[in-house]
Structure 1
Amino acid sequence: MTDLSDTKPDSRRSPVKLFALCGLILFAMAAFVALGIWQIERLSWKLDLIARVDQRIHAEPVAAPEGRNINPAEDEYLRVKATGTLDNSKETFVYTSTELGPGYWVMTPLMLADGNAILINRGFVPSEKRDPKTRAEGQLSGTVTITGLLRPTEPKGSLLQSNDPATGWWYSRDVAAITADKSVAKAEPYFIDADATPNPGGSPVGGLTRVVFPNSHLSYAITWFAMAIMMAGLLVVVIRSELRRR
């Protein structure tokens, strides 16, 4: 009589398959560890950036740079001041949504004494205040000094909508396009977000710059390291299972 136990198939994996499976698990584990370390490095960079920007926005204002390209890493959110005359006839309205609701940024060229210009985001107005006649008191004349935060240009438009100079619809503060549309010569390649100094009549409302840096790097790092631990556990399970089979 034939012993059926002798005909039981061998459930052990071949050495090649076992080696390939373990290699794949080790590769995934190494990749997850590398991603976790990268996120830790990004966390360190983000914390340093937040600290530097916080120092800039609370520092004493310095003269706005003229005649040079700015470096966003070093100049963005720098607290600056500039003196000149606002050309209210060349206002541009950029659609936005703020804590005060939907409306427009009022972008006005500040004409400097040397003939250069700096585009100023004077602040927010709701739709009913878009017409300058509804906020005549805030149309400053004569020499003024604007204090605020230096911001790099925002070319082309928002993520969802592109600027359309032909129809006058703007969705981002594209300095080059706005100053070209308004025939403003010698404009600096950045704009200034005016601070919360009240304007006569209350409009536009400045000081609404959102200085927010998403910082999820620690949670991402924990996730990647947890995945690496899971891969390590899977490797142990595979090896133990194979040892039992043998």
Structure 2
Amino acid sequence: MASSSGTLFRCLLRPSPAHKAAAAVVRPIGGRTAALNWGTTTSRSAATPRRLLSTSPRRHAKQPGDDPSFTSILDNPPELVRTGRRHGYGLIILAIIPVTAFILGTWQVKRLEWKSDLIAKCEDRLVRSPLPLPARVDPNAIDDFDYRRVWTTGHFRHDKEMLVGPRMRDGEQGYMVVTPLEREGGPEATVLVNRGWISKKLQDQRARPDSVKPGEVRIEGMLRKPWKKNMFTPENRPDIGEFYFPDVHQMAALTGSQPVWVEQTMDPDLLQVYDYETRGIPIGRPAEVNLRNNHAQYIFTWYGLALATSVMFWMVVRKPPSDIARRVRQNKTW
């Protein structure tokens, strides 16, 4: 009785085959499946194939941390840097302009002093009584007698007359009449006289007989250094009688006279000027200094430019340029 009851109890505790199949749990281990029971592992027969849930390993996206050389931003924070030049070569040019303008303005101050002294000397010579022009004149001494009033007598050589121009007077085009004046002492005493202006329509001597009368004349004028040609003035053509500027040495060699230039002066009234212009008599210039003195304007211009560019330079240096880029770079220092 006791043995039969023990056998029955063990049968109750032992699960049946149906219970074993229902209680089996399938769990993944290392990508494979295993059947577990209450303590007993049941192996399937060789005829039944093993069923797998997944045979391929899971793929993960590559992260920055996978790189061995990766540096975290927390370990080495970045720094804000400024890239690009603060000022370019234009700032150098802007700094040179006020310095150059100031130097030129200072130079014009010196030029103004020199020109003022020269005009004062010339005006002092004009107020003096005219001197008789000597027979022989040293061309090198004319600089010391520029604008000095002189007088002389002689005969005009109208056959060697030269017209320099064109020259404008009161809006009308004409020429300056230059005629050699033969004086006592022979051909070596001949000088060149700028008699004055005539209209272009009377350049032919036959159209103005009153201006080419023979006989002895007395002239009064100034010793002068004639004007020089500029870059726009063409060269003289003495072979065809065309003179665009007074080349004293060239004219003296052509006419056989001294290289001395005398500008005839006169002070006619308005009616006399009209009469001379109609008859073709050369109109001489007044006895006055006509040296241009614009250095005061140049001083104002250069100093004003220096001041304006200095202010511009200060504003550029003081204000940071807007085209500077600020970027973040990795800090390489630890």
Q: Give the TM interval when normalised to the shorter protein.
A: 0.7 to 0.9
Task: Specify which of 28, 35, 40 is matched with residue 104 of structure 2.
Answer: 35
Task: Specify which of 95, 98, 114 is matched with residue 165 of structure 2.
Answer: 95
Q: Which amino acid aligns with 1:195?
A: T
Give 1:203-222 correspondences, 5 Å limit.
203-208=280-285, 211-222=289-300
Q: Which amino acid aligns with 2:79?
A: T
* 1:8 alignment partner, SS class: strand
Match of 2:44 in 1: none
Task: Specify which of 81, 84, 92 is matched with residue 9 of structure 1.
Answer: 81
Contact 2:198 2:283 in 1 (8 A): no
* 1:38 alignment partner, SS class: helix
Gap regions ≥5 residues in structure 1: none
* 1:152 alignment partner, SS class: coil
TM-score under structure 2 normalisation? 0.58
Contact 1:84 1:111 in 2 (8 A): yes
Gap regions ≥5 residues in structure 2: 1-71, 321-334
Cα distance, 1:192 vs structure 2: 1.2
Task: Return closer, same or farther for 1:24/1:149 CA change in 2, 3 Å cut-off.
Answer: same
Contact 2:119 2:289 in 1 (8 A): no
* 1:224 alignment partner, SS class: helix
* 2:218 alignment partner, SS class: strand
Q: Which amino acid aligns with 1:148?
A: G
Q: Which amino acid aligns with 1:61?
A: P
Task: Return closer, same or farther for 1:204/1:232 CA change in 2, 3 Å cut-off.
Answer: same
Counterpart Cα distance in 1 of 2:133 and 2:231: 26
Contact 1:56 1:78 in 2 (8 A): yes
Structure having the higher helix fraction is 1
Find out whether 1:176 has 2:249 as its counterpart: yes
* 2:224 alignment partner, SS class: strand
Task: Return closer, same or farther for 1:172/1:232 CA change in 2, 3 Å cut-off.
Answer: closer
Match of 1:78 in 2: 148
Q: Which amino acid aligns with 1:124?
A: W
Give 1:1-246 correspondences, 5 Å limit.
7-10=79-82, 28-65=97-134, 66-71=136-141, 73-100=143-170, 101-115=172-186, 116-153=189-226, 159-182=232-255, 184=256, 187-196=257-266, 202=276, 203-208=280-285, 211-234=289-312, 236-237=314-315, 240-241=318-319
* 2:81 alignment partner, SS class: coil
Q: Which amino acid aligns with 1:94?
A: V
Q: What CA RMSD, in Å, does the superposition of the two structures yield over aligned residues?
A: 3.7
* 1:50 alignment partner, SS class: helix
Counterpart Cα distance in 1 of 2:165 and 2:198: 10
Q: Which amino acid aligns with 2:167?
A: S
Task: Return closer, same or farther for 1:158/1:231 CA change in 2, 3 Å cut-off.
Answer: closer
Cα distance, 1:27 vs structure 2: 5.3
Tell which has more relative contact order, 1 or 2 (C-alpha 8 A, sep 6+): 1
**In the TM superposition, what whole-angstrom CA distance separates every residue of 1:185-238 from its partner, at most 9, and x where no partner exists?**
xx2222211112679x73423323685333332232223223333454355446
Counterpart Cα distance in 2 of 1:111 and 1:165: 21
Counterpart Cα distance in 1 of 2:313 and 2:116: 35
Counterpart Cα distance in 1 of 2:230 and 2:105: 34
Task: Return closer, same or farther for 1:33/1:194 CA change in 2, 3 Å cut-off.
Answer: same
* 2:196 alignment partner, SS class: strand
Counterpart Cα distance in 2 of 1:43 and 1:88: 42
Counterpart Cα distance in 2 of 1:99 and 1:119: 22
Q: Which amino acid aligns with 1:214?
A: R
Q: Percent identity?
A: 27
Larger radius of gyration: 2
